[in-house]
Amino acid sequence: MLVLDFKKLENWFDCAKKLVARAVEKVWLLNENGFLSEDSTLETMIWEKSSLRNKLLKINSTSPVFSVSKQDFVDFVRARQKLSKFNISDDGKFEVNTQAKAALFLKIIDDDFVKSELTGKEYDAEKKNMIDYSS
């Protein structure tokens, strides 16, 4: 079978609903670990934006990110100007209420950053672009 339109395929087999249900479980995982504030709308955004849903599905509950202390996680975000666009509560919960913030938050949770041993510079692990935190 040759599939040309994955959206239609998802609709025919109700795959989208099943994928969203699995992605919602990942949102619950983030809530259980104290990452998301009550004002976060990540769970509703995954219905609208399949790319967010797919990124959520990649999150592994055994990721080393979940063993990092909450304070270290918050400090990592606050130390990088480009990442510090989040509203972070005193207890370290992130307000994820736009698709741009959701994409960036999921990039952080997925640990999509690489630091070169040669240059000491940080790169986006997915795109291999150097990250300039000054802008």
pLDDT of residue 50: 86
pLDDT of residue 123: 81
3-state helix, strand, coil in the chain (%, to 5): 45, 10, 45
In DSSP terms, 115 is beta-bridged to: 122
In the chain, what is the straight-line distance between the N-terminal and C-terminal CA atoms, in Å? 47
Q: What is the pLDDT of residues 16-56, one digit of tens each?
A: 788 888 999 999 999 999 999 988 888 889 888 888 999 99
Query: How sure is the predictor about 5, in pLDDT bands with cuts at 50, 70 and 90?
Result: low
Domain definitions of the chain by residue range: 13-124
What is the maximal distance between C-alpha atoms in the chain?
A: 53
User: Considering the entire predicted model, what is its pTM?
Assistant: 0.78
- The average pLDDT across 111-129 equals 79
